[in-house]
Amino acid sequence: MKIPKRIQPLVDDGLVDNVLRQLMSGKEAIVYVVQCGEHIRCAKVYKEASKRSFKQAVLYTEGRKVRNGRRARAMQKNSKFGRDQQENIWQHAEVDALYKLAAAGVRVPQPYGCFEGVLLMDLICDEQGFPAPRLNDVSMSEEQAVEDHMEMMMNIVAMLNVGIIHGDLSEFNVLVDVYGPVIIDLPQAVDAAANNNAKSMLLRDVNNMTRYYAQFAPQLANSQYGKEIWKLYEAGLLADDVILTGNYQEKNKVTNVATILDEITAARNEHEENLQRILEAEM
């Protein structure tokens, strides 16, 4: 096929030999199957911000650090240079997350770098060598659903242990190869320690996964893995080999209004008695 304009510089630099076909077009990028020497890989071409339909991006980018002061000021002023820097950070967030997660043992495509808004990474394939299907196109047995759901929970744990939350995880952002689920699409990856929306996003990611697998294994529907994982994380007890149960006990504290009023009255009486003693001492 004709080489897309955005990929041509990679061909000129010898990083890509040929573009075989378009694989898919999503809300933030178009993905192509490319040949790189002996290897068949993916080239993810990010769409420009004006053409990208990812909603509420500011919720995801909260907490991302910009070390260069000039860049930070330009981004705050929303100048052209600042917008370019924001776009650069958005594009490199995925490749940075992929490198970090791959090193942590999370099942993600192996990245090979981001070049002028084009991310090169492994092509995830099925057992016949064709591009692997998305999870939403896969049916499975109850036993397989329970097994794959737990694998996804442990992937989420491993991600959180290196400070990353996917933020947009669903059956549409997971591929299934011969070894199981592979997590994809991470430009909106959330900094777990710096983003105020981290907990709600983690719970949503977990709930999305659980809801999908519960179609095949209904016993998963009432599990509370998200709350269990976050509780362990907050307590500093989350580890890659943690044994998850899916159980979570809510702390239900019943407020006794009468007791609180009695305590307030007692405190006020004590305060008044102290004032009286001070006045008597001064007379």
Q: How far from chain centre, in Å, is Cα 201?
A: 8
The pLDDT of residue 5: 95
197/51: higher pLDDT: 197
The pLDDT of residue 259: 63
* Residue ranges making up the domain that contains 191: 8-234
CA contacts within 13 A on the Cβ side of 218:
0
Per residue in 136-164, pLDDT (tens digit) is: 999 999 999 999 999 999 999 999 999 99
CA pair distance 72, 89, nearest whole angstrom: 11
The pLDDT of residue 27: 80
Summarize the confidence of residues 66-82 as an average pLDDT.
51
Does residue 22 fall inside a structural domain?
A: yes
The pLDDT of residue 165: 97
Does residue 71 fall inside a structural domain?
A: yes
Cβ–Cβ under 8 Å, residues 209 and 146: no
Does residue 224 fall inside a structural domain?
A: yes
89 band by pLDDT with thresholds 50, 70 and 90: confident
Does residue 280 fall inside a structural domain?
A: no
The pLDDT of residue 75: 43
Cβ–Cβ under 8 Å, residues 108 and 162: no
Residue 54 pLDDT greater than 50, yes or no = no
Does residue 89 fall inside a structural domain?
A: yes
The top-scoring range by mean pLDDT among 106-110, 258-262, 279-283 is 106-110
281 band by pLDDT with thresholds 50, 70 and 90: low
SS3 state of residue 3 = coil
66 band by pLDDT with thresholds 50, 70 and 90: very low
In sequence order, which residues have a C-beta less than 8 Å from that of residue 190 and are 6 or more positions away? 60, 63, 164, 165, 166, 167, 197, 198, 201
The pLDDT of residue 250: 74
In sequence order, which residues have a C-beta less than 8 Å from that of residue 150 and are 6 or more positions away? 244
Does residue 250 fall inside a structural domain?
A: no
72 band by pLDDT with thresholds 50, 70 and 90: very low
Q: What percent of the chain is predicted at pLDDT more than 90?
A: 67
91/37: higher pLDDT: 37
Residue 114 pLDDT greater than 80, yes or no = yes
Does residue 244 fall inside a structural domain?
A: no
What angle do the packed helices 142-161 and 198-213 form, to 10 degrees? 170
Residue 172 pLDDT greater than 90, yes or no = yes
Cβ–Cβ under 8 Å, residues 95 and 102: no
User: What mean pLDDT, rounded, does the chain reach?
Assistant: 85
% helix, strand, coil for the chain, step of 5:
45, 15, 40
Per residue in 14-41, pLDDT (tens digit) is: 999 999 999 999 888 999 999 999 999 9
47 band by pLDDT with thresholds 50, 70 and 90: confident
SS3 state of residue 19 = strand
Per residue in 190-240, pLDDT (tens digit) is: 999 989 999 999 999 999 999 999 999 999 999 999 999 999 999 999 999
pTM to 2 decimal places? 0.78
* Domain CATH code at residue 35: 1.10.510.10
Summarize the confidence of residues 171-186 as an average pLDDT.
96
Task: Report the domain count for the chain.
Answer: 1
Does residue 267 fall inside a structural domain?
A: no
249 band by pLDDT with thresholds 50, 70 and 90: confident
